[in-house]
Amino acid sequence: MRLLVNDRSVIEPALLDTMRQAAEVCLQGEGLDPEGIEISLSFVSEEEIHRLNRDFRGVDRVTDVLSFPLIEDLNELEAAEEAEKDPEPVALGDVVICLPRAEEQAREYGHSREREIVYLYVHSVLHLLGYDHMEEEEQREMRAREEDVMQAVDLQRQTTGL
């Protein structure tokens, strides 16, 4: 999988590797070959994500992550993979993460910065793959996929026993 990052200086190389692995788990779970996929990843300020959220979603507030899918029908992607006519990876979409918001949420939820950033990325990649959480059943399915992927990269939620 090709991961295009807008600014590698703001994120540790090991964390980018974990994010790539998590995306590959997402893609393989959908029966897709990660080698044929490209995802663009941008890290932005609160001001920038607020502007994007307002301009593209009509929501006038800061958010943690946004997804911009480039493929409407994953069947087209599967057909292209089967035909293997284009050796270049197919652009699945763009993920935009607000690092200050992710870091704030990590503190708020009591888990690591790494876990929060990877979780937001997984959440967004699943949106690129057509998952949503508007309906209760969709939300359950998406949350289960998120937790499966986070477990696969050893970043599951920490639970404390009584």
For residue 104, being part of any structural domain is answered with: yes
pTM of the model: 0.91
Helix (H, G, I), strand (E, B) or coil at 157: coil
* Closest of 150, 132, 135 to residue 22, by C-alpha: 150
pLDDT beneath 70, residues of the chain: 76-87, 157-162
For residue 159, being part of any structural domain is answered with: no
For residue 40, being part of any structural domain is answered with: yes
For residue 160, being part of any structural domain is answered with: no
* Closest of 101, 93, 106, 111 to residue 160, by C-alpha: 111
For residue 95, being part of any structural domain is answered with: yes
pLDDT at 162: 38
pLDDT at 75: 73
For residue 157, being part of any structural domain is answered with: no
Helix (H, G, I), strand (E, B) or coil at 39: strand
Largest Cα span, the chain: 56
pLDDT at 61: 97
- DSSP per-residue letters across 40-105: EEEEE-HHHHHHHIIIII---S--SEEEEES-S-HHHHHHHHHHT---SPEEEEEEEEEHHHHHHH
Domain of residue 62: give its range: 2-152
Residue 55 tokens read as: 């301009």
Spatial separation of the C-alpha atoms in residues 136 and 75, rounded to whole Å: 25
For residue 126, being part of any structural domain is answered with: yes
Number of domains, the chain: 1
pLDDT at 88: 80
Domain with residue 113: its CATH number is: 3.40.390.30
Asked if 109 contacts 116 with a C-beta cutoff of 8 angstroms, the reply is: yes
Asked if 157 contacts 111 with a C-beta cutoff of 8 angstroms, the reply is: yes
